[in-house]
Amino acid sequence: MSSTSANIAAQNEQAIAAPKMNAWRRFEESNGFSLALLTPILIFFVALNIIPVLWMVGLGFYEYSLMSPAPPQFIGLENFIRIYNDADLWGAFSRTFLFVVLAVSIQTVLGVVLGFLFWGSNEMPG
């Protein structure tokens, strides 16, 4: 009798066990699938954003002119010191900062007010 109950228990365990997944299904549910989908966009991001920024930072250490046939000359931190001492640049930075703060503040307040106005409405205007 015990062997019969053991056989029944073994059959129940096999029936309850999760169905076997094929290799593609396991790959989809693993992190490898997500990584495979993200890899192309990460390559484009690095190629179109990171590399040009690093290139421009590197060029900041050289005296370089597109109009001159002379090769670039290494001048170290001279360009950065010149920028730091330029009063016009700091004025432009302050105006840009003020514009960004005002624009973001106005857009945020306007978005919240419109969100509350349309909250219970089922119909959108327009």
From first to last of its 126 residues, the chain has per-residue pLDDT tens of 556 666 666 666 655 655 666 777 777 777 777 888 899 999 999 999 999 999 999 999 999 888 989 999 999 999 999 999 999 999 999 999 999 999 999 999 999 999 998 887 676 666
Taking the complete model, does pTM exceed 0.85, yes or no? no
| Tally of structural domains, the chain | 2
Domain membership flag for residue 25:
yes
Task: Provide the residue range defining the domain that includes 47.
Answer: 2-76
Q: Do 69 and 92 fall into the same domain?
A: no
Do residue 62 and residue 6 come from a single domain? yes
Tell me if residue 73 falls in helix, strand or coil: strand
Inside any domain, residue 14? yes
Do 116 and 57 share a structural domain? no
| Angle at 33 (CA atoms; ends 31, 36), nearest 5 degrees | 110
Distances (CA, A) of 33 to 36, 41, 118: 5, 14, 40
Q: What is the pLDDT of residues 31-56, one digit of tens each?
A: 777 888 899 999 999 999 999 999 99
CA triple 96-88-86, angle to 5 deg: 120
Residues 48, 101, single domain; the answer is no
Whether residue 125 sits in one domain with residue 65: no
